[in-house]
Amino acid sequence: MKALVYEGPGQKAWKDVPDPTIQDPRDVIVKIDTTTICGTDLHILKGDVPAVTPGRILGHEGVGTVTETGSGVTNFKAGDKVILSCVSADGSCSFCKDGLYSHCTGSEGQSGIGWIFGHLIDGTQAEYVRVPYADTSMYILPEGVSAEHGVLLSDIFPTGFEMGVQYGQTKPGDVVAVIGAGPVGLAVISTAGLYGAAKIIAVDLDQNRVDQARRFGATHGVNSGDSDWKEQIMSQTDGWGVDVAVEAVGIPRTFEMCTEIVRPGGNVANVGVHGKPVSLELDRLWIENIDISMGLVNTDTLSMLLKLMAEGKLPAEEFISHRYPLDDVMTAYDTFSRAAETNALKVILTAS
């Protein structure tokens, strides 16, 4: 089969590799129908994730068709259309039993991390993928939800909702500010209303992103390049700051911005993938009664979000900016990596 293979920092190739095979009775093989590229894949390509070694097939999002099942698989059969979770959970380890699927210890060498696709095992940017723990890590794609929309549930919708909205403890009436209006920030914006946010403020340096965030549910927009960006945000509150400040960029400055706009008693929810340490002004913040959260998505809300998507209650179509055939994945990477110029959000790859 053909697959997108990481060949060391800055290098990748769409090339022939051996087809995946069942290695454990809990495995299935899935023919990928639709996949996409995540900002995390770009971090990997920069060499920011050293656990990814040359030769690894990238990608952790996908919708496909089951072609083969291991002898221990009971919930799926060949021909089923499925959504793959970016988190592989065995459902039986101590973390899984606590609902912390993101830290599944499994038996795939994941050492306490459930995100293994395109990381510790071969991923979904390929014609076929081996899915471990299939019974507890895949979801049937219902009639009426397209593969293109379903693939948004592999990672970005659950990540935005769980790490931004839920970890941020969003409640009815809250003012929520989301710093970073890329795909995951927009997933926070488009799900914050589920918990009753009164105002959702999109904050970004790119005015195009600030403007388009309104299509995803933002009620206000602030360009963080403006000298009075902070005053603009504060003017949408009672003067004391936002209830929930969500970081969806992954750099020190945007995290600090969150700590500057959160009200006493509020929440800072980090969603961004950081590559550098961030300083925390504890000398100022210790007295503020704020909670700071962070983490890797569990995807335990995937089925709930799928029900909303099936009823047209998530702005799925708005996330899709580009479409390519799967074997044009190199062009798709180029488009996605130049998002500031191409206005790329989710770049959808579909197999022929």
Residues that bind Zn ion (CB under 5 A): 90, 93, 96, 104
Q: Output 132 or 241, the one with its CB closest to Zn ion.
A: 132
Please state the closest distance from residue 120 (CB atom) to Zn ion, in A. Answer: 14
Are residues 124 and 35 in contact, defined by beta-carbon separation less than 8 angstroms? yes
Q: State the alpha helices, DSSP H only, in 202-338.
A: 207-212, 229-234, 252-261, 282-285, 302-310, 316-319, 329-337
Could you give the CA distance from residue 237 to residue 245 in angstroms, rounded to a whole number?
Answer: 12
Query: Least separation, in Å, of the C-beta of 298 and Zn ion?
Result: 11
State in angstroms the smallest separation of the CB of 295 from Zn ion.
Answer: 16
Half-sphere CA count of 104, side-chain side, radius 13 A: 27
Smallest distance from the beta carbon of 41 to Zn ion, in angstroms?
24
> Please, what is the angle between helix 329-337 and helix 39-46, to 10°?
90
The residue among 105 and 321 lying less far from Zn ion, judged by its C-beta, is 105
DSSP type of residue 18 = P
Q: Which is nearer to Zn ion, 90 or 243 (CB)?
A: 90
Nearest to Zn ion of 104, 305 (CB atom): 104
Count CA atoms closer than 13 A to 333's CA, side-chain side. 23
Which of 123, 106, 114 lies closest to 302, judged by CA? 114
Nearest to Zn ion of 93, 201 (CB atom) = 93
For residue 297, the minimal CB distance to Zn ion (Å) is 15
